[in-house]
């Protein structure tokens, strides 16, 4: 199994990597958030072990960015923040498991292996649906109450990101990253313009709203 370990503590990272390698796994190490974000985007891994507090780009930003980009690789969050609220936040933002420091290396290895055993079918979604809307990801068809709606490539990508994160707020920055590959905010209303046109095509109105606006933050499809 190929594991990506994103951890800035060199001693801890080397210790965890050694244990995983002795258990037969291939391990790539990134020692800061920027390198981790690049590796997540450019390389395929079976499991990611992600430190929550990282220099440059924090772990939660990496997690939200990869989920917004429809990257379903299982993620174990590894952190010194062990309060219940911290664990809940990490899991709600897309984490699959959570281990607080200090931890047992054998427990970490066992949990990583359990995440890696998840069936592939569970990681590859072919259809998404919500509120009378159906999206076929393979044929790239969208149906609204049984009627096909033609979307541009950008509109399709926006809707896919929102549906994959149903019930969670997707920020404008996350959409810029996932759809336009902007790693900065160009200070335009390009996201709002595309969402507005998408809503019109979906027939959004006050009584039958698919995409909600979360003021000052972004958008959400109800889960």
Sheet holding 218-221, edge to edge: 170-171, 218-221, 211-214
Does position 43 have pLDDT exceeding 80, yes or no? yes
What's the number of domains the chain is made of? 2
CB 221 within 8 A of CB 166: yes
Q: List, for residues 28-42, the tens digit of each pLDDT value.
A: 999 999 999 999 988
Domain termination residue (choose one: 66, 101, 123): 123
Domain termination residue (choose one: 60, 94, 123): 123
Whether residue 134 sits in one domain with residue 118: no
CATH number, domain of 44, equals 3.40.50.2300
CATH number, domain of 151, equals 1.10.10.10
pTM for the full predicted model: 0.55
Whether residue 194 sits in one domain with residue 96: no
Q: List, for residues 63-101, the tens digit of each pLDDT value.
A: 989 888 878 899 999 887 656 666 677 777 788 888 888
Q: List, for residues 114-152, the tens digit of each pLDDT value.
A: 998 876 544 456 788 887 889 988 788 899 888 999 999
Whether residue 158 sits in one domain with residue 116: no
CB 159 within 8 A of CB 150: no
């Amino acid at each position: 199994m190929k594991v990506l370990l994103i951890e800035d503590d060199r001693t801890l990272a080397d210790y965890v990597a050694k244990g995983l390698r002795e258990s037969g796994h291939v391990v790539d190490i990134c020692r800061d958030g920027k390198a981790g974000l690049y590796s997540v985007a450019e390389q395929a891994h079976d499991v990611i072990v992600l430190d929550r507090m990282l220099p440059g780009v924090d772990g939660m930003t990496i997690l939200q960015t990869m989920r917004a980009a429809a990257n379903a690789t299982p993620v174990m969050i590894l952190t010194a923040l062990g309060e219940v609220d911290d664990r809940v936040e990490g899991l709600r933002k897309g984490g699959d498991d959570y281990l607080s420091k200090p931890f047992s290396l054998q427990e970490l290895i066992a949990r990583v292996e359990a995440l890696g055993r998840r069936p592939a079918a569970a990681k590859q979604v072919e259809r998404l649906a919500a509120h009378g809307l159906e999206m076929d990801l393979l044929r790239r068809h969208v149906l609204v109450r049984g009627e096909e709606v033609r979307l541009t490539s950008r509109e399709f990508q926006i809707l896919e990101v929102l549906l994959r994160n149903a019930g969670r707020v997707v920020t404008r920055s996350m959409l810029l990253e996932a759809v336009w590959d902007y790693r900065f905010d160009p200070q335009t209303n390009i996201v709002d313009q595309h969402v507005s046109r998408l809503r019109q095509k979906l027939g959004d109105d006050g009584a039958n709203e698919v995409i909600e606006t979360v003021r000052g933050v972004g958008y959400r499809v109800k889960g």
